[in-house]
């Protein structure tokens, strides 16, 4: 194993179909707190109030859920893409990027220039709201305005169904189409890159195994160790942004 940015750049040059998995670590570099970290939003709420079944069954839990989600949404809305997001957009422009599979719900990949059809959002998006009854979708800002005007628990204006941010909550089924496509892309890649994921949340944590089991090289850039470090061709314990920016410079031949 050669844990250098230069070796990562070599793997990228040699690759044809690169699939990237991004986790919370890439978003924290844009100022979005990982709500699971100590001192984060998560510490101020009872997790039992935030799971999917509680949302469905309790009006009080729905009020708490929307309050929690609004605390997360505002800093996310104000955040900006970082060098790692822009590096992935450049990889796409080079014709090497097969797709980005993201565990994040902030839409920063698209804002950095990644094509929407190249981004697989396996945990959904916080930028949209979906009716759980009829499936109608709404722009998040529209629903935020309604809450600002006094609605604690917004409902669908068409069918009166429950509205929920279009993210995957604990206990909520993963989106079948996106999950299936993510596994397909992992298996068809020749280089699988992990950016800012601890690789402990499933099913996303299964994706590197699917990739290497199908013959792909594996690169991991994360501040802390992951369960897959011993299986990777490159492991770099550093920030995603600075690592990916330098890697792109090397691939392009910049000094």
Per-residue DSSP letters for 198-252? -S-STTGGGHHHHHHHTT-EEEEE-SS--TTGGG-SEEE-S-HHHHHHHHHHHHH
Average pLDDT over residues 23-52: 76
* 69 given a catalytic annotation: no
User: What would the pLDDT profile of 190-246 be if each residue is shown by its tens digit?
Assistant: 999 999 999 998 999 999 999 999 999 999 999 999 999 999 999 999 999 999 999
Taking the model in full, what pTM does it have?
Answer: 0.92
Cβ-based neighbours of 121, under 8 Å, separated by 6 or more: 102, 105, 178
Q: Give the tens place of pLDDT for each residue, 59-110.
A: 999 999 999 899 889 889 999 999 999 999 999 999 999 999 999 999 999 9
- Report the percent of the chain where pLDDT is more than 90: 85
Q: Mean pLDDT for the chain?
A: 93
Of the candidates 85, 109, 123, 237, the residue annotated as catalytic is 123
At the topology level, CATH places domain 35-78+125-167 in SIR2/SIRT2 'Small Domain' (3.30.1600)
Pairing relationship of beta strands 191-195 and 217-221 according to DSSP bridges: parallel
Looking at residue 42, its pLDDT comes to 57
Q: Are 192 and 19 in contact (CB under 8 A)?
A: yes
Of the candidate CATH numbers 3.40.50.12280, 3.40.50.150, 3.40.50.1220, 3.40.470.10, the domain formed by 1-32+81-123+173-255 belongs to 3.40.50.1220
C-alpha gyration radius of the chain: 19
Residue-range domain boundaries for the chain = 1-32+81-123+173-255, 35-78+125-167
State how far the Cα of 169 lies from the Cα of 17, in Å rounded to an integer.
31
Q: Which of 174, 171, 202 is nearest to 47 (CA)?
A: 171
Q: Give the number of C-alpha atoms closer than 13 A to the C-alpha of residue 177, restricted to the C-beta side.
A: 5
């Amino acid at each position: 194993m050669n844990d250098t940015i230069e070796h990562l750049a070599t793997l990228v040059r040699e690759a044809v179909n690169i699939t990237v998995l991004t986790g919370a670590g890439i978003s924290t570099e844009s100022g979005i707190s990982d709500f699971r970290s100590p001192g984060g939003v998560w510490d101020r709420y009872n997790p039992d109030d935030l799971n999917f079944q509680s949302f469905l069954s309790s009006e009080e839990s729905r009020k708490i859920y929307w309050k929690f989600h609004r605390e997360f949404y505002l800093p996310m809305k104000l955040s900006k893409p970082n060098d790692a997001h822009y590096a992935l957009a450049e990889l796409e422009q080079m014709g090497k990027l097969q797709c980005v599979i993201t565990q994040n719900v902030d839409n920063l990949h698209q804002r950095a220039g990644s094509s929407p059809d190249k981004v697989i959002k396996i945990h959904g998006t916080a930028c949209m709201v979906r009716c759980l009854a009829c499936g109608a979708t709404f722009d998040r800002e529209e629903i935020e305005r309604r809450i600002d005007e006094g609605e604690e628990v917004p409902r669908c204006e068409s069918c009166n169904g429950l509205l929920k941010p279009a993210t995957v909550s604990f206990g909520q089924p993963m989106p079948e189409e996106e999950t299936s496509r993510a596994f397909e892309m992992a298996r068809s890649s020749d280089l699988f890159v992990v950016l800012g994921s601890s690789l402990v949340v499933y099913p996303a944590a299964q994706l590197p195994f699917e990739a290497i089991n199908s013959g792909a090289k594996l690169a991991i850039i994360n501040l802390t160790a992951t369960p897959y470090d011993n299986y990777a061709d490159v492991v770099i314990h550093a920030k995603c942004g600075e690592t990916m920016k330098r890697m792109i410079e090397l691939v392009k031949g910049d000094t």
